[in-house]
Amino acid sequence: MMRIVKRLLQALNKSNGQSEIYNLYSQFIDTGDLCFDVGANIGNRTEIFLELGAKVVSIEPQEACFKVLSRSYGNRLLNRLQGYNGRIFLVNKGLGEEEGYLPLHISETSVISTMSDKWMREGRFSNKYTWPETQLVSITTLDKLILKYGLPKFCKIDVEGFEYPVLKGLTKPIPFISFEFTKEFFDDAQKCIDHLLSIGHAEFNFSIAESHKLYYSKWVTQEELYEALSSFDDDLLWGDIYVKFA
């Protein structure tokens, strides 16, 4: 009964304007595919990936957020009732270039907690929010996760300015990757792209803010991506860059 109710609620959500996000991710994810949700927070994207039939490794270092994830997906009986049994794996760690420990700056608004000092001090939220708490979190790498869980079809990265160190921990292509960018730190996005191109041939696309729509109808080169993004006259431009390895 719980599973039926859940399906009905999801169908209602889709009819109320959420179909775009399902349509977006269905371009990268098929039933049975493995996905990594890096910076899962409380699991909004994790749930979408599960509903698309994927197996999901959900990675979140914040203690409070991980407790929410554990309540949602840490119970085998509940997972079985929802059709998620054997398809969801929770990892209470951060990701970086190498294993170890790093400070995580915790904001009252959990979605802007970060391991990037620069992002916290110089980014668009620096004068609007505070990060009053610091947690020392265990760090692993994308390569280590791949060794443990397998190569994902899709990897979503949303880590508030720490994207480059996360991607530096990857030395082999993943078929599809998305990572967040902001205009004020576009140089960091370029570093991410340069690193990804160093490990394989890749093409690109992007979406703006929460549009859940790819800007291009086809995959484009690095140069075409930069040209399109530089054409936006918006100092607060942000969104996600999508990467496809050939």
On the question of pLDDT at 101 being above 50, the answer is yes
Classify residue 43: in a domain, yes or no.
yes
Lowest-confidence region among 70-74, 123-127, 157-161:
123-127
* Number of structural domains the chain divides into: 1
On the question of pLDDT at 10 being above 70, the answer is no
Classify residue 124: in a domain, yes or no.
no
Classify residue 150: in a domain, yes or no.
yes
* pTM of the complete model: 0.90
Q: If pLDDT is split at 50, 70 and 90, which confidence band does 200 have?
A: very high
Lowest-confidence region among 4-18, 134-148, 186-200:
4-18
How do strand 154-157 and strand 34-38 relate by DSSP bridges?
Answer: parallel
Classify residue 158: in a domain, yes or no.
yes
Q: Which residues contact 230 (CB under 8 A, 6 or more apart)?
A: none
pLDDT recorded at residue 4: 44
Whichever domain contains 67, its CATH number is 3.40.50.150
Domain that holds residue 51: 23-99+140-245
3-state secondary structure the chain: CHHHHHHHHHHHHHHHHHHHHHHHHCCCCCCCCEEEEECCCCCHHHHHHHHCCCEEEEECCCHHHHHHHHHHHCCHHHHHHHCCCCCEEEECCEECCCCEEEEEEECCCHHHCECCHHHHHHCCCCCCCCCCEEEEEEEECHHHHHHHHCCCCEEEECCCCCHHHHHHCCCCCCCEEEEEEEHHHHHHHHHHHHHHHHHCCEEEEEEECCCCCCCCCCCECHHHHHHHHHCCCCCCCEEEEEEEEC
